[in-house]
A and B are shown apart, each in its own frame.
Chain A
Amino acid sequence: MTDTTALLEVRDLAVYFRGAAGVARAVDGVSFFVDKGETVALVGESGSGKSVTALSLLRLIDPPGRIEPGSVIRFEGTDLLALDEERMRQLRGRRIAMVFQEPMTALNPVFTVGDQVAEVARIHEGASRADAWKRAVQMLARTGIADAERRARDYPHQLSGGMRQRVLLAMALLLSPALVIADEPTTALDDTIQAQILDLLRTLQQETGSAVLLITHDFGVVAEMAQRVLVMYGGQVVEAAPVRTLFAAPAHPYTAGLLRAMPRIGSRRTRLDAIPGTVPPATAWPSGCRFRDRCAHEWEKCASEAPVPIEVAPGHVARCHLVSDPARRAAANLAGAPT
């Protein structure tokens, strides 16, 4: 970890929701960093805590959810959890921007898309109405919207899903933020449109130099976009590695299981290697390792002792007892690609 240069550093982040069903430990001891300009993928299934992690970076957790004491979020050297609400608001959109999955709900239906992009410049930079509009139209054109001058006067419902996602990218990247958090930005889109939007995100990122924290469940998207990957399960990061390492030599059985469970064009099998069971609710993680009841390699230690993150190799960390037990690890023979 390079504390001095990391753009974003998250340490021991915990977000709990207290309700009638008990305490849901949605995020529970998450640590990671994002460097300037890099793309880090945050991967996991529903209920893994990846979206709650993203929202907590912007301090957008509403009661009964709470970021627990002891959590640290450091961004450009500033402790975000110590900022007052006014300074946090200035930061959102300007230095950290967010792109959501569902562009229809993320846009205001009663304002034109041009107004909504222009508003970003007016709020954060005090640009005049005319100047902000001009910048909005330029930015919309940069996202590949043809005839941007006219399209800027359209309302969100007049645009297709792919175009609305371009508008969101225009809003997010208008002020060249240091970090863009993109939460499943292409999940709602068709494949050919997804390809366009991912290309666009890459291009804009090169122009602005922004880092991207890309939240996704799709390993195809991960392989195409990310330099590093964080895999979440049970509210924790269970594995972190450079992208090629993660695909070639996953160290956590959950990562290996996900990679083997997905169908891949060109390597057909009679059966997919499914991971048995389902993600348990956040109110009832198993004791010890949270993945153990779905794991093929469980032994006594997994129930009695919660694994801590252990370094597999420089830059590669996994939260699994196998890492510190070479004999068992060799026997488990974790492989990402189906054999």
Chain B
Amino acid sequence: MSDASTALVRARDLTRHFAVGGGLFRKPSNPIRAVDGVSLDIARGETLALVGESGSGKTTTGRMLLHLERPTSGTVTFDGTDLASLDAKSMRALRRRMQLVFQDPFGSLNPRMTIGDTVKEGLLIHHLAEGAAADARTRALLDEVGLRPEWADRYPHEFSGGQRQRVGIARALSVGPDFIVLDEPVSALDVSVQAQVINLLMELQRQRSLTYLFIAHDLSVVEHMADRVAVMYLGRIVELATRDAIFAEPLHPYTQALRSAVPVADPNVRARRIVLAGEPPSPANPPSGCPFHPRCHHPAKDESCARLVPPLEEKAPGRLVACFKQPPSSVSWEAQQAAGGTRAPTLHLPVLATDARPA
């Protein structure tokens, strides 16, 4: 985890529980633990990717970092300020520095507002510019994201998906943020257009020294964009490391499986795949102990995995992994045996390289 002085965004023990069920004649059931103890730091100027499958809690985590959703417990610090300590007015002022870009370029723009007005709205709300100056800033922003300034008077339906996503990016940039949460920003786009938007996001980051939380499920895009990667499973971070470490040698069995599931765009190779058993469990009814243990392929998996919750701990400098079967671990072998463990921890590094595909 990075040094406190450089972290722009810092989350500690974030949890978010949703009450479900209940009603006039029914008792509420267990709350859904959408996010269950997430801690992370995002350094200035870096891109931290938050990776996981549907229901892993990545979007909820992103929204809590922006204080769009209140954590059930835990803290978010932005540039040294605890967000929970702010009154509404100070929060509004800080909001200018943190923005969100959505996945869906169709649902996230107001169809009755011209794209110029959509981009300008932030400038007006935050009193950053008015009148002719605001119009000029709007045109400059459209130009910066690769849209023609004279299109400011057009409506969203006149644009393609990729162009609408550029509008969403211009809107986020309008208030001059330091930090942007990108929630699956290219998932809905076609390959050729996806590449355009990825290039734009990376250029903007360089030019404006932006800090990104990049929420994604497509690992090939993550490898292209991220500096560090956090992998979530059932509301928890199971692995957090530099991009190179995560892709070269994933340590958590779930990361290993996720990495191996990416289809290889080369007909001459066949991926050696770790096929996971079963389906991801529901966050309403998570497994005991390690949340991944029912689907895990680690050779040392045993009864202790169902009883003990593995802490997210450092396995090597800068490499956090939540698996006590991958040594070293603060959960000693004795402690595992006391919890019913029968298989000693052993480093498991499945070969993820690919085999030649038979002709």
Contact = CB atoms under 8 A, between A and B. Distances in A.
Interface stretch (B14-22, B84-92, B272-280, B326-334): B272-280
Interface in B52-68: 53-54
A265 B199 contact: no
A301 interface: no
A11 to B, nearest CB: 27
B275 A219 contact: no
Contacts of A196: 275-276
A190 B254 CA distance: 13
Contact of A218 (B199, B257, B263): B263
A108 interface: no
Interface in B211-248: 217, 219-221, 223-224, 247
Interface string B25-57: 000000000000000000000000000011000
A199 B190 contact: no
Interface residues of B, number: 42
Interface stretch (A89-97, A113-121, A256-264): A256-264
Contacts of A190: 53-54, 217, 280
Contacts of B265: 219-220, 222-223, 247, 259, 262, 264
B217 A191 contact: yes
A304 interface: no
A279 B191 CA distance: 12
Given A193-B279, A224-B264, A265 B220 contact: yes
A219 B191 CA distance: 10
Given A162-B279, A224-B264, A265 B247 contact: yes
B210 interface: no
Contacts of B271: 224
- The interface size bin for chain A is 35 or more
Contact of B195 (A160, A244, A275): A275
A192 B276 contact: yes
Nearest to B224: A263
B94 interface: no
Contacts of A218: 263
B194 interface: yes
Contacts of A217: 190-191
Nearest to A43: B191
Contacts of A220: 220, 262-265
Given A258-B192, A263-B220, A272 B261 contact: no
Contacts of A271: 199, 202
A275 B53 CA distance: 29
A191 B192 contact: no
Contact of A247 (B195, B198, B247, B267): B267
Interface in B274-288: 275-276, 278-280
B267 A243 contact: yes
B223 to A, nearest CB: 5
A190 B257 CA distance: 12
Contacts of B196: 274-276
A220 B192 CA distance: 15
Contacts of A102: none
B72 interface: no
A264 B275 CA distance: 21
B220 A195 contact: no
A214 B163 CA distance: 29
B275 to A, nearest CB: 6
A46 interface: yes
A257 B273 contact: no
Contact of A258 (B191, B247, B263, B276): B191
A285 to B, nearest CB: 15
B355 interface: no
B220 A261 contact: no
Given A160-B279, A191-B53, A223-B265, A45 B192 contact: yes
B341 interface: no
Interface string A187-209: 00011111110110000000000
B275 A262 contact: no
Nearest to A46: B190
A224 B221 contact: no
B238 to A, nearest CB: 14
A87 interface: no
Interface string A216-245: 011111111000000000000000000110
B1 interface: no
Interface string A150-179: 000000000011110000000000000000
A34 to B, nearest CB: 18
Contacts of B129: none
Interface string A103-127: 0000000000000000000000000
Contacts of B261: 191-192, 194-195
A79 interface: no
Interface in B139-179: 160-163
A45 B191 contact: yes
Contacts of B70: none
A261 B195 contact: yes
A253 to B, nearest CB: 12
| Closest 10 pairs (CB-CB, A-B) | A220-B263, A274-B195, A275-B192, A45-B190, A190-B53, A272-B195, A263-B224, A261-B195, A274-B196, A195-B261
Given A217-B191, A262-B194, 10 more contacts: A45-B191, A243-B267, A244-B268, A263-B223, A266-B247, A270-B202, A272-B199, A274-B199, A275-B196, A279-B190
13 contacts: A146-B278, A190-B217, A191-B258, A193-B279, A195-B273, A198-B263, A223-B265, A224-B271, A259-B265, A265-B220, A266-B223, A268-B224, A273-B195
